[in-house]
Structure 1
Amino acid sequence: MSDSIAPTSENVGRRILGELMGEDYLVKKDQARNDFNAVLQDYSEEVCFGRIWARDGLDRKQRSIINIAMLTALNRPAQLAHHVEGALTNGCTVTEIQEILLQAAVYCGLPAAGEAFRVAEGVLREQGHLD
């Protein structure tokens, strides 16, 4: 019998989250962890990243594209900012992000897309992709 711990969806999820968002993100996430929000953080790591993002059916770039579109439709700017960062890590170009948001404008409405453009522009500027 091996002494090693078998990978769980939770630790797989944490690894994937770190690959997508970087170690600084994990440090900030851990610093914000408390007795109240720990269950949600664990759920996110285990289910969202450990089960869904770990699946083979779509690559990470495709998942990022879908998430940007959905978060635009749902008008979730904080999560959108994180997923724009992740999309860049996953190989999305600035032009592709722009096109995703423009496509969303047609189906989600101009107010939602306008907010998403604002959020994405801030992330892209902060990451050095825009002047």
Structure 2
Amino acid sequence: MDEEAIRNRTQETAKKLFGKGIKMDPPYLTWKAFDRDLANDFSMFITGNLYSRTVLTLPERQMAACAILGAIRATDELKLHVNAALNVGCDPRKLTEIFFQMAPYAGMPAVNEALNVFREVLKERGEWPIPDKPASTL
């Protein structure tokens, strides 16, 4: 695939993930402040190549990203990806369950931090509290 096609795919995928919801600067702006060319290379690889693959859907990729970021307690990055997960249609109840699933692997402090970040994003989006649903519909 030529560079122009990857650049277009990068922009399309980034718009789906980060085009709405909470307002925060993406990590790309930090990268760009230090090295514009490398920032573009990172962005095209991550968003244009990795995130645009079709083996996993964008919601599945975002749920995986949220679980990993929650487990390693990367709260700033988690905030960005929780918002992106909601933007691409992830069910808030499933994200909640993913954060609880981290307990045996990352510990309750990581679960608590992830849930606090998640609630903060939901509040900023005007989507808190999450509507009740029976557990059988998860």
Q: What TM-score comes out, normalization by structure 1 length?
A: 0.81
* Amino acid across the alignment from 1:54: S
Match of 2:63 among 44, 55, 65: 65
Gap regions ≥5 residues in structure 1: none
| C-alpha distance in structure 2 between counterparts of 1:56 and 1:109, whole Å | 32
Structure 1 residues 27 and 15, CA gap change in structure 2 (3 angstroms): farther
Equivalent residue, structure 1, for 2:74 = 76
| Residue type of the alignment partner of 2:116 | R
- How far is the alpha carbon of 1:71 from its aligned partner? 0.4
- Could you say what the CA RMSD is over the residues aligned between the two structures, in angstroms? 2.8
Q: Kindly tell me: are residues 21 and 119 of structure 1, through their superposed partners in 2, closer, same or farther at Cα, counting changes over 3 Å?
A: same
The offset of 1:101, in angstroms, is 0.4
Tell me which amino acid in the other structure corresponds to 1:12: R
Between the aligned partners of 1:63 and 1:69, the Cα distance in structure 2 is 10
Q: Structure 1 residues 83 and 31, CA, compared in 2 at 3 Å: closer, same or farther?
A: closer
Give runs of ≥4 in structure 1 deviating > 4 Å: 23-35
**Deviations 1:49-79, CA, capped at 9 Å, x for gaps:** 1110111100011001100001011211111
Identity score, percent: 27
Distance 1:55 1:116 in 2: 26
Instruction: Give ranges in structure 2 of 5+ residues lacking alignment.
Output: 130-138
Alignment of 1:23-38 (within 5 A): 28=25, 34-38=32-36
**Aligned-pair distance for 1:11?**
3.3
Figure out how many residues of one structure are paired with residues of the other and give that number.
127
Give the superposition deviation at 1:10: 3.1
* Cα distance change on mapping 1:6 and 1:72 into 2, 3 Å: closer
Cα deviation, 1:18-50, whole Å, max 9, x if unaligned, reads 221117989955876755242453133211111
